[in-house]
Amino acid sequence: MSITLRGLCAALILCATTSQAHAWWWFGKDKSYADTRYPIVLVGGIIAFDDIAGIDYFYGIADDMRDYGAEVYESNVSALQSNEYRGEELIVQIENYLAVTGAEKVNLIAHSQGSPTSRYVAAVRPDLIASVTSVHGENRGTAVADVIRGVVPEGSITEGLANSIGNAFGALWESLSGGPNPGDQSTRDVLATSTTEGLAAFNQRYPQAMPTSACGTSGQHTVNGVRYWSWGGDGVHTNLFDPFDSLLVTVTQFAFSNGEAHDGVLPVCGMYLGKPIRHNYNHNHADAIRQLFGLMGWETDPKTLYRNHANRLKNAGL
C-alpha cells in the first residue's frame, strides 16, 4: 500500500473514531438518569430571573438536567420582594406548570432567597409540592443584610432613597426578564426579610424542616408529605478571573466574624434545611448557580450536583 493511501486510510479511521466518540458522548448518556416522577422547578434568589438575553440564572443547569431526562421549568418571581410575596407568585406559576404537564406536584430546587420563598409555598400549599431542596439557602438571614440595615435604618430618609433607587432597578430587571410584577418591587421588604432578625421571624411562622438549634445541621426530612434536602458551600474567592469573587472578597466578607464559614453572602450555619447532603463544597454564592458564565474553581461542577440530585429525587419516587 502506498504511503499516500495508508495516510488516507489512517485519516478516515481517525475521523470515524472521533465521530463515534462524540456520538457516544451524546447518545451514551443515560436519558432516564434524571427522569423524576414530578417536574423540577428552579427558584432563584434576590434579583431572580429565568433568563435575560438568553443567559439563565441557573447557568446551563436546566439544560444539563434535561439532557438526562428531567422535565425542568425555570420560574420567574419578583427580583426584589418579600418571601411571602414571591411565594404567592410562585404558586401561580406552579399551578400553570401542573396544568400544562398534568402532574400532581413539583419538586422545587431553590437558591438563596429562593429557599424561604419555596419553604413558604410548601408550608401553605403542601398539596402542590413533592420536595424542597435548598442550595446555598438563605434560611437564617445574612450578616450582610444586618450591616446594610445598620447603615440604612428602618424608616430613615436614607432607606426611602435606597428603596426608590432599588425599586427602579428591580422594575427594569423584571421588564428585561419578563417578570410577573415589574411595577411592584420592594427593596425595603427584601432587606427586612434578609436580616437575621427578619428570617428568625419568618422561621417562627414557617418552621418546617428547619434545624431546631442555632447551627443545627439537620431538620425533619419529611413534613406534611414534603421531603426537604439542602446543600451548600464555604468557598469565597474560587476563581481569579471571576468578578463576583472579587466583590465577595473585597466587600461582603467583612460582614462575617473571623473564622465563620460562609460563601461570601450567607453563613454556612444558615444553609441547613431538612436532610443535609454536603455543605462544604468549595463554591461561593454565585458558583452555586454557575455564575458568572460558568467561571469557578476546580471543585465539582454544580451541574453535576443538580443532575445527581435529580437522580436522588427519582430514586426516592419523586
Q: Dump pLDDT digits (tens) for 81-134.
A: 999 999 999 999 999 999 999 999 999 999 999 999 999 999 999 999 999 999
Distance CA 226, CA 208 (A): 9
Among all residues, which ones are annotated catalytic? 112, 263, 285
Q: Which residues on adjacent β-strands are paired with residue 112? A: 137
Distance CA 84, CA 314 (A): 29
Dihedrals phi, psi of 87, to nearest 5 degrees = -65, -40
- Please tell me what DSSP assigns to residue 292: T
Which residue type does 313 have?
A: L
Identify which of 95, 112, 131, 43 has the alpha carbon closest to the alpha carbon of residue 309: 131
Q: Is the pLDDT of residue 3 over 60?
A: no
CA angle 20-22-28, nearest 5°? 85
Tell me, yes or no, whether 6 lies in a domain: no
Give residue-wise pLDDT tens across range 217-258: 999 999 999 999 999 999 998 998 898 888 877 788 789 988
Tell me, yes or no, whether 177 lies in a domain: yes
Tell me, yes or no, whether 48 lies in a domain: yes
Q: Is the pLDDT of residue 11 over 50?
A: no
Tell me, yes or no, whether 114 lies in a domain: yes
Domains in the chain: how many in total? 1
Identify which of 30, 41, 91 has the alpha carbon closest to the alpha carbon of residue 71: 41
Give residue-wise pLDDT tens across range 23-54: 334 456 788 999 999 999 999 999 888 788 77
Tell me, yes or no, whether 217 lies in a domain: yes
- Count CB-CB contacts under 10 A for residue 169: 15
Which single residue is written with the C-alpha cell 446543600? 231
What's the whole-model pTM score?
A: 0.89
Q: Is the pLDDT of residue 15 over 80?
A: no
Which residue type does 31 have?
A: K
What pLDDT is stored for residue 28 in this prediction?
Answer: 61
Is the distance from CB of 80 to CB of 44 less than 8 angstroms? no
What pLDDT is stored for residue 27 in this prediction?
Answer: 55
Distance CA 113, CA 44 (A): 7
Tell me, yes or no, whether 18 lies in a domain: no
Domain that holds residue 294: 31-315
What pLDDT is stored for residue 179 in this prediction?
Answer: 81
CA 44 vs CA 24, 115, 150, 230, 283: distances in Å: 33, 8, 26, 15, 17
Which residue type does 190 have?
A: V
The β-bridge relationship of strands 106-112 and 129-137 is parallel
Tell me, yes or no, whether 225 lies in a domain: yes
Give residue-wise pLDDT tens across range 63-74: 999 999 999 999
Tell me, yes or no, whether 73 lies in a domain: yes
Query: Domain of 251: which CATH number?
Result: 3.40.50.1820
Distance CA 129, CA 105 (A): 5
